[in-house]
């Protein structure tokens, strides 16, 4: 139960903050000695379900028009839906085509430490570019003029490619998509909204595919269902808090702070894994 709560908090915080939930979970599972991949898979599904529900609740105002004829405006909403579909295509192709290769990387916590540095570089580059643009425009006006409804379909495809490669443990899905969107000229908060709209079909689809494995093999005997359920609840609650924190940080243009954190985490985790022998 303790492991479920701990991993639920880690999942909830890191799924939306641009620091890689898969990277954190891989490292902490290695340090906790959780070696059974089937048990980890079942727990991961429950934790991801919690964060998926959290993002749907947080962005309910953006999602509501798609479920209400009264609030439907065909122009911008149809375009945003098309952009999400366009961005989901490369994500699905990469995820399905290279799924087995990327899954093997979860067995290498040391590789995850390296991948975290890649995420850090992406975040720092996007933040610095935004800071330069802001200083050139004015000291008070945030950089980035594009919104979700004015994003091009080519840009949506590029962001979708970034999300596809973020299946790599240690490459943050939210971090890579938000950073790439900002580099393409999208304002930070709008980049986050599009990132999380793009997340829903990706995470939802991946979760359904993993559920098929569970149905075929059955629930692992060593899985503590009560602990896993509590972990899912914690991932939901901490996910809501993380979303609010991320949107605030993006408005303040402080994305680079996450890159500093990832560099420190990568180095500390690598040294700890080597010293404890958990990397092998």
Greatest CA span in the chain, whole angstroms? 60
Mean pLDDT split into 10-residue runs, the chain, 280 residues: 82 88 80 59 79 91 72 69 91 82 73 92 92 62 67 93 89 93 91 91 76 67 74 92 93 92 93 75
Please, are residues 14 and 44 in contact by the beta-carbon 8 Å criterion? no
Residues whose CB is less than 8 angstroms from the CB of residue 183 and which lie 6 or more positions away in sequence, other chains included: 125, 126, 129
* Distance separating alpha carbons of residues 125 and 169, to the nearest angstrom: 20
Residue 182's pLDDT is: 93
Any bridge partners for residue 186, and if so which?
146
Residue 239's pLDDT is: 93
Residue 211's pLDDT is: 72
- Number of other residues whose CB lies within 10 A of the CB of residue 218: 9
How many degrees, rounded to 5, is the angle at CA 100 between CA 98 and CA 103?
Answer: 105
Domains of the chain by residue range: 2-276
Residues in the chain: 280
Instruction: Please give the DSSP secondary-structure letter assigned to residue 184.
Output: T
Residue 226's pLDDT is: 81
Q: What are the tokens at 79?
A: 């375009």
Dihedral of CA atoms 139, 140, 143, 148 in degrees, nearest 10, equals 180
Residue 35's pLDDT is: 55
Residue among 256, 258, 276 nearest 266 (CA): 258
To which residue do tokens 């490369």 refer? 90
- How far, CA to CA in Å, does 189 sit from each of 57, 132, 147, 164? 17, 18, 9, 21
Residues whose CB is less than 8 angstroms from the CB of residue 130 and which lie 6 or more positions away in sequence, other chains included: 142, 143, 144, 182, 188, 253, 255
């Amino acid at each position: 139960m303790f492991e479920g709560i701990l991993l639920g908090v880690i999942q909830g915080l890191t799924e939306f903050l641009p620091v890689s939930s898969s990277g954190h979970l891989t490292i902490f599972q290695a340090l906790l000695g959780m070696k059974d991949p089937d048990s980890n898979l079942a727990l991961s599904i429950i934790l991801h379900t919690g964060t998926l529900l959290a993002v749907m609740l947080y962005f309910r105002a953006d999602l509501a028009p798609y479920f209400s004829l009264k609030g439907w405006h065909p122009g911008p909403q149809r375009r945003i839906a098309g952009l999400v579909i366009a961005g989901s295509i490369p994500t699905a192709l990469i995820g399905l085509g290279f799924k087995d290769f990327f899954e093997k990387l979860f067995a290498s916590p040391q590789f995850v430490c390296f991948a975290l540095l890649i995420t850090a570089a992406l975040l720092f580059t996007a933040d610095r570019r935004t800071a330069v643009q802001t200083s050139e425009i004015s000291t008070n006006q945030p950089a980035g003029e594009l919104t979700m409804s004015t994003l091009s379909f080519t840009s949506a495809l590029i962001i979708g490619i970034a999300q596809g490669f973020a299946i790599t443990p240690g490459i943050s899905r939210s971090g890579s998509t938000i950073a790439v969107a900002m580099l393409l000229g999208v304002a930070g908060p709008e980049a986050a909204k599009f990132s999380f709209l793009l997340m829903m079909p990706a995470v939802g689809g991946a979760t359904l595919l993993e559920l098929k494995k569970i149905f075929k093999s059955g629930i692992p005997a060593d899985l503590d269902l009560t602990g896993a359920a509590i972990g899912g609840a914690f991932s939901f609650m901490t996910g809501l808090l993380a979303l609010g924190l991320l949107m605030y940080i993006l408005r303040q243009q402080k994305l680079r702070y996450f890159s500093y954190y990832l560099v420190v985490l990568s180095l500390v985790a690598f040294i700890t894994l080597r010293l404890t022998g958990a990397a092998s």
